[in-house]
Amino acid sequence: MSNSQNSQMNKSFLSHLMAHLLEGSQIPKVQVERSVGPVLGFFLAEVLTATLKDDGALSGRYRMLCPEFPLAKGNSLQSTNIDFLLYNEDRQALVFLELKTAGSSFSTQQVDTYLENKSKIRVDSAAYLVSDLERIKASSTEPQKYAAVQQMLETRFPGGMGAMAQCRELYVIYLVPAQLKERDGLLLKRVDKALSFGELAMDIDGPFAEEWATIGQALQQLDNNVKPNPSSIISDSGHLNYQDRVDFDGIKALCSERGAQIVVGFAGGEAALRQSDLKQLRQRAFKWDVAEGGQGHKQALNWVAGNRFIDIVLSLEAACTGLNEPSAPARIAAQIPKEDLEVGAWYSGKGRNGDVGLWDGEDFLVLGLEGKKVGPDRSDWENEYRIKREPYGTVDEGCFQPFAKLVPAHHSA
C-alpha cells in the first residue's frame, strides 16, 4: 500500500472518530470536553505555538506540562482541576488553559479563581502550586496519581519543579466555541486570551501535522455548539441579582454619579478589590444594582457600596500611574530614581498595599492586607496580612513610588 493510500485511510479514520466523539455534543449530560480533551491535548502545545506566533503578548514556544492539573481550594485539601497546564518557554510563563465545548459550562467564578492565581503568582511566585500539590498528595488515598503529576512536571519543565516554583508570570487562556466568545465576549476580555476553535492554526510543526489538520477542522463544529444560557450571570438562587453589567469606565461613571445609592458586585468585597490588579479591572465587566430595593438575593460580603468602590479604584489608579495625593508634602514630591535606590533600605512612598517598603533590588516588600478564599462558598473569605511584592512604579507599569529613604532613629543627626 502506498504512502498516499495510507494517508487517505488515516484521514478517513480520524474523520469518523471525531464525528463519533463530537456527536455527544447533541446528547444531554454528555461532557464532550472529556472525550475531545485528550485528543486536543496531544497537539495543544504545537497548536498554541502556531496560533499565537504573531501575538505581541503571548507568542513563543509552548510546552505541555500536565492535563488536569490539581489546584488547591484555599488552604483546604480539596482541589479543582485546570484542564491544561502549559509553559511558554520564551516568555518564561506558566499557562492555565481552560477548554469549553458548550456555553452551559462557562463560570465567572472560575475566571475569578484563575485571575486570583495570576495575581498571586506575579506577587509571590508559583512556589505555592508546587507545595500545594505535595500537600494534596500527602492526604490523598491515591498518592501515586499525584506523584505521577509531580513526575510530569519534573521531567517536562525546564529545570524541574524547583525552577517552576520560581515562575512569576501566568497567562490564562480560554478555548471556547465562537458563539460563546461572541455572547460572553466582555467577560472573556478579562483573561489573557480567548480563542475559538476556528481561530486555531491548522498548519503546525511536528510529525503529526497532517493528522492535526483533520482533527482541527472537525473541532470547528463546536463553534456553533452554544445555546442562549444565562446560567453564568445569575445568582445562586437562580434569579438575576443585579440591574445591569457595564465595563470599567461605565462603573466608574455610575459610582461617581450615584455613590452610595448603588452597590457593585465584587467577590470578596472591599478587601479583594484593594488587592486587585488594575489591568484586570479595566478588562472585566461589573454587576451593579441599587442599594435599596434591588433585585434578587445578595451576599453582602461580595458587594461594595458605590462610593467605596470609586474611592478604592481611584486609589489603585493613583498608586499605579504616578499620581500623588494633593496633600503629599512637598519634600517627597519627586520620586527617587530607580538607579539611586539602595538594596536593603526602607522607603516611604505610595504603593498599592502600603506606603512603606523594603527595596530588595528587584521589588519593594510591603506589608498588605489580603483577602483569602478559605472555602467553596462565595462568602468564605478571610483577611490576613502578608508580605507583598510591588515593582518600582513608572507611568506604564509597577506600583510602588519611593519618595524618601527612611533613616533609623539612631542614625539621625
Order the strands of the 193-196 sheet from edge to edge.
62-72, 79-88, 93-99, 170-176, 193-196
Number of CB atoms found within 10 A of residue 340's CB: 8
Output the nine-digit C-alpha cell for 164. Answer: 517552576
pLDDT at position 367? 84
Biggest alpha carbon–alpha carbon distance for the chain? 93
The phi, psi pair for 14, rounded to 5°, reads -65, -40
pLDDT at position 97? 97
pLDDT at position 238? 42
- Among residues 245, 299, 9, 1, the alpha carbon closest in space to that of 108 is found at 245
**pTM exceeding 0.75:** no
SS3 407: coil
How wide is the angle at C-alpha 337 spanned by C-alphas 331 and 342, nearest 5°? 95
Beta-bridge partners for 359: 364
Calculate the alpha carbon distances from 258 to 242, 250, 305 in Å.
16, 12, 10
User: Residue 150 is which amino acid?
Assistant: Q
pLDDT at position 262? 94
Q: Which residue has the cell 492539573?
A: 69
pLDDT at position 28? 58
Give dist(CA 31, CA 210) in Å, integer. 27
Local confidence pLDDT in tens for the 413 residues of the chain: 445 555 565 667 777 787 777 776 656 555 777 888 899 999 999 999 999 999 999 999 999 999 999 998 877 778 889 999 999 999 999 999 999 987 655 677 888 889 999 999 998 899 999 999 999 999 899 999 999 999 999 999 999 999 999 999 999 999 998 888 877 777 788 899 999 999 999 999 988 899 998 899 889 888 876 554 333 333 434 456 788 878 888 899 899 989 999 999 887 788 778 877 787 788 777 889 999 888 888 878 789 999 999 988 888 887 765 444 433 333 334 578 888 899 999 998 887 777 889 999 989 999 876 666 666 654 556 667 788 888 888 766 777 888 888 876 554 44
Give dist(CA 173, CA 55) in Å, integer. 13
| DSSP element (H, E) containing 161 | helix 160-164
